């Protein structure tokens, strides 16, 4: 149906895997196959295996191969958003099943768990996944998934993927890792024992804040087939233009992540040394409580930084409303720097009591550090602080 995985280093695969020149025209860039349907030579005999674009589309196939290659996995599946990817995973569950989830997840993930799938008789138990004993105690015979983010959003806590995979497998569950914050350039969960990697492609993989999409990457072919059944049956699939935009993004992922990480580390160090700042959360700082795990599990600390100001909520709001280069906006992972206050923006759907119990203070400020010049970024923060 299309070319297989390409060998080579990450940077090479990012540009070429799934994306050989078009055999018909020689086009170097994968064509955007703007078609809903495909000609057949006889009833039930499509020319190249493609029948209908909810089920398959060649531009989407190219992206699915590309993402699988980058994560070191066998199969990729793309969705119309990160949450549509989460939805497909949850569609496999039946009433009485249980998910053990990290208590520091993306707000929308918490919402689909508690407001959508809990109504169907699926139980969600939230634990601090950085504490492996809590995970171990929560996993039982009904547990189908251990579902984690590492680093977490927005507190940048890490979970030991290898250890978590062992705990999940011992209980007969699958380990799902939302790898949106790290990207496969910094961290490859499947290579550490995870069963499913989930992405919001909207973030670093797209990388330019111009597309919403999601993906799942797995090794197990039976699991891939089951997820593909729900992908097609529910229909939350991305259009070919969206897939093209994400592929354009993955080509530069490595150099973007290097610069995002370099800038984020410099900003974390700047904030840590600033008198107006109370606490900085960045896994690439030696003062981060899980710095050793970061060095073991990730290539760098990534591009996200969060912090609390001594002036609390008011100071945080003032900073977020006054920066000139950092744009006040939700989302993350684009080339441009963004600033936001999670409790009133990205994480507003989590009840205050639940947020506080997870250590998310009302005054928290989150930065998605872009790839602008570091001097301009620091000057922008320094001026307001
Ligand atoms: C944005 C995000 C999601 C959801 O993805 P969408 O593409 O917005 O549906 C899931 N997990 C994390 C960590 C995210 O940042």
CA of 95 to the centre of ligand 1 (A): 25
User: What's residue 5's pLDDT?
Assistant: 56
Same domain, 190 and 260: no
Is the residue at 1 inside a domain?
no
Is the residue at 4 inside a domain?
no
The active-site residue, picked from 13, 157, 188, 203, is 203
Is the residue at 3 inside a domain?
no
- Please state, as a whole number, how many other Cβ atoms lie within 10 Å of the Cβ of residue 5: 15
Does residue 203 have an active-site annotation? yes
Share of the chain above pLDDT 70, in %: 98
Average pLDDT estimate for 130-141: 97
Model pTM above 0.85: yes
Q: Whose CA is nearest to atom 12 of ligand 1?
A: 106
pLDDT tens sequence across 206-239 = 999 999 999 999 999 999 999 999 999 999 999 9
Same domain, 258 and 172: no
pLDDT tens sequence across 93-122 = 999 999 999 988 888 999 999 999 999 999
Same domain, 229 and 316: no
Q: Is 102 in the pocket of ligand 1 (CB under 6 A)?
A: no
Is the residue at 273 inside a domain?
yes
The rounded mean pLDDT for the chain is: 95
Average pLDDT estimate for 185-189: 98
256 close to 335: Cβ distance less than 8 angstroms: yes
* CA gap 257, 47 in Å, rounded: 40
**Residue 292: which CATH number?**
3.90.1150.10
pLDDT tens sequence across 267-285 = 999 999 999 999 999 999 9
230 close to 188: Cβ distance less than 8 angstroms: no
The active-site residue, picked from 54, 111, 142, 251, is 54
Q: What are phi and psi of 15, to 5 degrees?
A: -90, -30
Same domain, 169 and 240: yes
Residue ending a domain, choose from 251, 278, 308: 251
pLDDT tens sequence across 320-379 = 999 999 999 999 999 999 999 998 888 887 888 888 888 888 889 999 999 999 999 999
Is the residue at 234 inside a domain?
yes
In ligand 1, the atom with minimum distance to the C-alpha of 331 is: 1
Q: Whose CA is nearest to atom 4 of ligand 1?
A: 82
In ligand 1, the atom with minimum distance to the C-alpha of 84 is: 9
Q: Which domain holds residue 182?
A: 10-251
Number of domains in the chain: 2
Q: Which two tokens stand for residue 76?
A: 């990729």
> What are the beta bridge partners of residue 315?
none
Same domain, 212 and 350: no
Q: Is 153 in the pocket of ligand 1 (CB under 6 A)?
A: yes
User: What's residue 31's pLDDT?
Assistant: 96
Residue ending a domain, choose from 216, 236, 251: 251
Is the residue at 2 inside a domain?
no
pLDDT tens sequence across 282-323 = 999 999 999 999 999 999 999 999 999 999 999 999 999 999
User: What's residue 6's pLDDT?
Assistant: 65
Residue ending a domain, choose from 206, 224, 251: 251
Cα separations in angstroms, 98 against 104, 123, 220, 243, 350 = 18, 5, 21, 32, 20
Same domain, 125 and 183: yes
Q: Which two tokens stand for residue 17?
A: 């895997």
Cα separations in angstroms, 192 against 49, 176, 371, 373 = 34, 12, 29, 34
CA of 48 to the centre of ligand 1 (A): 33
Same domain, 36 and 155: yes
Same domain, 144 and 282: no
Q: Which two tokens stand for residue 13?
A: 């695969």
**Residue 20: which CATH number?**
3.40.640.10
* CA gap 151, 282 in Å, rounded: 9
Same domain, 283 and 233: no
CA of 270 to the centre of ligand 1 (A): 28
Same domain, 150 and 226: yes
Same domain, 165 and 198: yes
SS3 call for 79: strand
Q: Is 150 in the pocket of ligand 1 (CB under 6 A)?
A: no
129 close to 139: Cβ distance less than 8 angstroms: no
- For 40, half-sphere exposure in the C-beta direction (CA atoms, 13 angstrom radius) is 10
Same domain, 146 and 198: yes
Q: In the predicted model, is pLDDT for residue 253 greater than 80?
A: yes
């Amino acid at each position: 149906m299309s070319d297989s995985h390409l060998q080579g280093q990450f940077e090479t695969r990012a540009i070429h895997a799934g994306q050989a020149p078009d055999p018909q025209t020689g086009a170097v860039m994968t064509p955007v196959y703007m078609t809903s349907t495909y000609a057949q030579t006889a009833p039930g005999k499509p020319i190249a295996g493609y029948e209908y674009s909810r089920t398959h589309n060649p531009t989407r196939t190219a992206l699915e191969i590309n993402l699988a290659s980058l994560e070191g996995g066998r199969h990729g599946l793309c969705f119309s958003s990160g949450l549509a990817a989460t939805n497909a995973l949850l569609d496999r569950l039946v009433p009485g099943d249980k998910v053990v989830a990290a208590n520091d997840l993306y707000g929308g993930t918490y919402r689909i768990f508690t407001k959508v799938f809990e109504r169907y008789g699926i139980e969600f138990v939230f634990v601090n996944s950085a504490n492996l004993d809590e995970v171990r105690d929560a996993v039982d015979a009904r547990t189908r998934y251990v579902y984690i983010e590492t680093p977490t959003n927005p507190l940048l806590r890490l979970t030991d993927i290898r250890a978590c995979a062992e705990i999940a497998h011992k209980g007969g569950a699958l380990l799902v890792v939302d790898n949106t914050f790290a990207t496969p350039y910094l961290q490859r969960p499947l290579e550490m024992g995870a069963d499913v990697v989930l992405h919001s492609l909207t973030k670093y993989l797209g990388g330019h804040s111009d597309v919403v999409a999601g993906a799942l990457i797995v090794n197990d072919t039976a699991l891939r087939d089951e997820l593909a059944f729900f992908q097609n049956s529910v229909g939350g699939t991305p259009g070919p233009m969206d897939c093209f935009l994400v592929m354009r993004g993955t080509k530069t992922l490595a150099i973007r992540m290097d610069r995002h990480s370099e800038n984020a580390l410099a900003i974390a160090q700047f904030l840590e040394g600033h008198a107006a700042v109370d606490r900085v959360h960045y896994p690439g700082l030696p003062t981060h409580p899980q710095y050793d795990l970061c060095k073991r599990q990730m290539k760098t600390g990534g591009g996200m930084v969060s912090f609390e100001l001594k002036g609390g909520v008011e100071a945080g709001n003032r900073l977020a409303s006054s920066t000139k280069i950092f744009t006040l906006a939700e989302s993350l992972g684009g080339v441009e720097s963004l600033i936001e206050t999670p409790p009133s923006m990205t994480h507003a759907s989590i009840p205050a009591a639940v947020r506080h119990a997870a250590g998310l203070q009302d005054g928290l400020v989150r930065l998605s550090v872009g790839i602008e010049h570091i001097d301009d970024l620091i000057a922008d923060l320094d001026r307001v602080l």
